[in-house]
Every structure is written in C-alpha cells, then in structure tokens.
Amino acid sequence: MEIGEHAGRYTSCYSSMTDTPVHGSKPRAGPPRYRHGGGRCTFAPMNESTIRGHFAEDVERMFALVTDPEFLRRRAEALGEKDVGVAIDRSGPQLKIQITREVEQNLPSFMKKIFSGRQRLIDRQVWSQKGDAHVSDWTVQLGDGKRIQLSGRLTLAPGAAGGCDYIEAFSASASIPLVGGRVEKYVLGQTEESIRKQLEFTRKELGG
C-alpha cells in the first residue's frame, strides 16, 4: 500500500470520471477535544473525508454485493490483506458484519513508535435501511482500539438519474501526545486510498 501523508489544514481533490473524494480537517462535533503537550492544551481537530461514487446497478443489487461474505473476502485479499475472516449476523433487525484481517505496511518513522508494521484490524459494520437507502455505520479497530478511533458511514442511495450513489464519509481521531495530528492525517490518507481501491475492485467485479 502506498504511503501518503497529508499536510495540515487543507483542501484537496482527487477526481476521476466516477469517484471523487473531498477532504479536509474539520472541528470535532460536540464538546472540543484538547491535546496536552509542551505545557499547554491545544485544540485537536478531527480529520474527516468523503468519497463519492456512482454505479449503474440499483441499490438492492449493490447492497447484496457489499454484504456478500465471499465478495468481502475476495475484495480484502485483492488489496493484499491476509488471514481474512468474515462473520455475518442476520438474526436481528440490523445486519451486522465483522471482518478481521492482517495488514502489513511500511510505516513512516513516527508511526513505528506506536504500531508494528503488521497489524490485525477488526472492521465492524451495522447496516440499517433508511427510506430507499441502505446505510452502514462502521468502525475499524486499530491496535488496542483506545488511542486511535476510525469510523464512518457508507450510504447506498438511488441516483437522481437511476443507478446507485455510493457515498462513504469517515473520520479519524487520535489521543496520542505530540504526534496525534500526524497520526490522524496518516490514518485518514490510508483509509482514503483503501476505499478507492475497494471501489476499483467493485467496478471490476461488476464488469464495469
């Protein structure tokens, strides 16, 4: 996986014919979060991003695909992830999915002080239906799950001219002295890259 590090507060765009992320640093909703360092407290913004795509297939077809355990396993393995496990719980009113996987990365020096290059990640998704749309609220556990929080929402909604709009919004926050902001931007960048690759794989899977 390519390593990329974001600058400070910024605006940038990645564009192709169909997938367009728009991202930047935004203040955390609710009470402000403070980071202690150098004898003072500083406000720590939460990094957020949104990636948008569109598919010709309808919402129900896309929902069936992205909740298919075999598809999820193939997609993870195509991204180079190892020891992938997918568990699905359809017993309650909400569909729940858990994906475990091993990921190996060549980390930048400031990340090596916090994590090893090989980590076991746990994705937890909770799907619900909101009108004509299907929505997944998800989290990814990185490391012990205490110092870094990564969460998001994937929305599959009918497009204005048909097909399915694929909208994934996500945020990263880190409670780590001195380097928390750099860690947030790094995690956000890696997540953006992973989601773009997931979209590319999905298009190939659908023959597009």
User: Which residue do the tokens 């069936």 mark?
Assistant: 64
Amino acid identity, position 143: G
Domains in the chain with CATH codes: 57-205 (3.30.530.20)
pTM of the model: 0.76
In degrees, to the nearest 5, what angle opens at C-alpha 55 toward C-alphas 53 and 61?
A: 125
Looking at residue 98, its amino acid is Q
**Torsion, CA 27, CA 179, CA 152, CA 117, rounded to 10:** 170
Q: Measured between alpha carbons, how far is 34 from 45 in angstroms, rounded to an integer?
A: 9
pLDDT in tens, 113-158: 777 778 889 999 999 999 999 999 999 998 777 788 899 999 999 9
pLDDT tens for each residue of 146-196: 788 899 999 999 999 999 999 999 999 988 888 888 888 988 999 999 999
- Rounded to whole angstroms, the Cα distance separating 155 from 167 reads 5
How far apart, in whole angstroms, are the C-alpha atoms of residue 167 and residue 179?
A: 30
